[in-house]
Amino acid sequence: MGDALEWGTASWLNTEFPWPIHAQPEDVELARFSTFRYGQNVLIEDAYLALGCSVDVRDLENPKFDLLNWYARCARRTLAGPAFELDVLDDEIEVLFEHRGAREAALLVSAAAVKQPTLTIQRNAATLRDFRRVVPDPVVVIVYVNGHPSRALLDSGSQADFISGRLAHQLRIKAKELEKPLPVQLAVQGSRSKVNYGCKVRFQYQDINEERYFDVLSVPNYDVILGTPFLNQHEVALGFNPVKVAIGSDRVVPFRGIQTRVIESRAADLFEDRLEAARQELRAYAAPICREASDAPFPPLRAINHTIPLKDPAKVYTWRPSRCLDAHRANWIEKKEAYFKSGCVRADPGGSLACGPDSDGNAGRKHG
């Protein structure tokens, strides 16, 4: 049957851009566009415009790629040659413009009938934008996660194995929330993220078939990122130009050597079993200064805390006996007992409280 991309490209172009009416060939079976596959490109030949161009296979596999408008722009750039003077071609210039204008008009009319696609703008600072630079693709392999094929990036610069949150959601993988989030520092300065979830999946690649742990991270371009833990535990050897991936061990090998480190979270550790012991220690330490006033060896604090000597000891001062509401009698009795315990209050025969020395000494102030 041939290559599907090659056949589909030619069929689409011939359907949307047929031979113009004034340029119909004698052979009605002669197609205007012919295509053939060459490596990662599909070469397109236009018999009407005598034009040839190539399109990348990855663009044709993209469902958002608009082949018709892409070819229209390519043809316009090719036909829009450098400007020249009329004196160079004399009378032949009119014939040339007439022929060339008919070609462009037919192409533009066909391109205008195609609906303009919705453009999606992506900002990626790591994507190279140079016109002539050629860079190799990263090492991407097909692995199986819970029996489903997935695109995995072999990244020797990653210190953890990650799985995309999108893939975990699609496969309904149960992720477990980490007790302490782990910070993720990318190679670009200022780019930071955190890993809050992790999961275990059935992982298969070549002869490897194991249950493996992955950190869940938002990975936009890949399903899985296999970092140094995977490469080290399975003794993986990578080769380039051409790409080679050799698995040294089908089983997990423990980390060996001095090139290992411990990644710790910056979050605080909470030890629930030690909190109550810490509270008891603080209570015992603060007990001497956190006592009730009645239990303290010093008198209770008052607004006036001194004796008032009287000039005339024989003079009688009238006073009104204390009266307390029944609702506050319990509080009053508690206060009275606290005054008695402090040692600076004595009971007066009349039933009131006297502040100061007893009856054998100086008189004191009475409290009603």
pLDDT at position 99 is 47
For the stretch 206-239, pLDDT in tens is 889 999 999 998 877 889 999 989 998 898 998 8
30 and 104 in one domain? yes
pLDDT at position 111 is 47
From the list 211, 210, 214, the residue with the least C-alpha distance to 222 is 214
Q: Is residue 127 part of a domain?
A: no
Rounded CA-CA distance 64/117 in Å is 8
Contact 299, 214 (CB under 8 A): no
Helix (H) or strand (E) holding 164: strand 162-164
Rounded CA-CA distance 253/247 in Å is 12
99 and 19 in one domain? yes
pLDDT at position 217 is 87
307 and 243 in one domain? no
Q: Is residue 330 part of a domain?
A: yes
pLDDT at position 25 is 81
**Cα angle: 19, vertex 65, 121; to 5 degrees:** 135
Q: Is residue 193 part of a domain?
A: yes
pTM (predicted TM-score): 0.39
Q: Looking at the predicted structure, is the pLDDT value of residue 132 above 90?
A: no
**CATH number assigned to the domain comprising residue 179:** 2.40.70.10
Highest mean pLDDT among 92-96, 129-133, 350-354: 129-133
Domain that holds residue 318: 294-367
In the 8-state DSSP scheme, what is residue 23?
A: G
Q: How many domains does the chain have?
A: 3
Give helix then strand counts, H and E, for the chain. Answer: 9, 15
Q: Is residue 260 part of a domain?
A: no
Domain boundary among 230, 247, 264: 247
Q: Is residue 300 part of a domain?
A: yes
Go through 326-344 and write b for each residue having 16 or more CB atoms within 10 A of its CB, e for each that does not: eeeeeeeeebbeebeeeeb
Percent of the chain at pLDDT > 70 equals 67
93 and 152 in one domain? no
Q: Is residue 131 part of a domain?
A: no
